[in-house]
Amino acid sequence: MLRIAHRGAKGFEPENTLVSFQKALDMQVDGIELDVHLSADGELMVIHDETIDRTTNGKGFVNALSLRELKAFRINGEHNIPTLRDVFDLVNQDCFINIELKNYDTAEKVVSLIEKYVTKKGWKYDRFLVSSFDWNALQQVAFLNDKIPIGVLTETNLDLALAFAKFIQAKSIHPHFHLLTKENTEQMQEKGLQVFPWTINEVEDIQKIKTFNVNGIITDFPDRI
């Protein structure tokens, strides 16, 4: 069962920071999950919200600020917002990167960056897993490069997500863990999909979901898996 660190090791370090990803790597996780938005000048920024208000000492929409402006803000007084490239450059061990596209506009740039790391650095496509609640964004990724592994996120409708995942030949399906049963987990796996539920932090929930034999668990606390 794969251990996937949510926004890095969010239970230990500030989410979506290089220290958080490094902590997850030190914990020998199988994958790290992160979120991307575009800056005003088209850089892929690793941040969950559409604004910087909650996680930094600044205010404003990510897509209204330049890379330079965004880099000047501080997270917990010491860290800055990484770019996706910063995170790729940090990960030099066998660990896949689950990139969650927070909106459609990020799709093309994420595909280009992945292609760059595949062609220039020799990374394999299976080092990446691109997921999103925005299925149009996933369709765009599949259209641009059908070798990039795709994960379909859903919080509400598993049947629809399953149909869409088959349609775009996704690698995995990422349901909110409350949607899962042992039966529907098996059903998805029988259709060739890996099942990666999120975000499971409580030990009791982890134990229960493990009995469904999911393929991996997305968690803030990889040590609890």
Q: Which residues bind ligand G3P (CB under 6 A)?
A: 6, 33, 35, 48, 100, 131, 153, 174, 198-199, 218
b or e along 63-101 (b: 16 or more beta carbons within 10 Å of the residue's beta carbon)? bebebeebbebebeeebebbbbebbbebbeeebbbbbbb
Stretch that binds Ca ion, among 58-66, 84-92, 95-103, 113-121 (CB under 5 A): 95-103
Q: CA distances (Å), 19 to each of 14, 15, 16, 91, 94, in order?
A: 8, 9, 8, 12, 18
Does 35 contact Ca ion by CB under 5 A? yes
Nearest residue to ligand G3P, scored by beta-carbon proximity: 198
**Residue 218 site contact among Ca ion, ligand G3P, none (CB < 5 to 8 Å, cut-off depends on kind):** ligand G3P
β-strands 194-195, 2-6 pairing: unpaired
Which of 15, 100, 134, 220: binder of Ca ion (CB under 5 A)?
100
Contact (Cβ atoms closer than 8 angstroms) between residue 85 and residue 138: no
* 48 given a catalytic annotation: yes
The runs of H, that is alpha helices, within the chain are: 18-26, 67-72, 84-90, 107-121, 135-144, 158-167, 182-190, 203-210
Nearer to Ca ion, 43 or 220 (CB): 220
**Residue 15 site contact among Ca ion, ligand G3P, none (CB < 5 to 8 Å, cut-off depends on kind):** none
**Residue 75 site contact among ligand G3P, Ca ion, none (CB < 5 to 8 Å, cut-off depends on kind):** none
* 176 given a catalytic annotation: no
Q: Which of 37, 48, 79, 174 is catalytic?
A: 48
Angle at 70 between CA 65 and CA 76, to 5 degrees: 140
Q: How many residues bind Ca ion (CB under 5 A)?
A: 2
Nearer to Ca ion, 30 or 72 (CB): 30
Cα 176 from chain centroid (whole Å): 14
CB of 119 to ligand G3P, least distance (A): 27
Which residues participate in catalysis according to the annotation? 6, 48
Give the interface with Ca ion as residue ranges (CB under 5 A): 35, 100
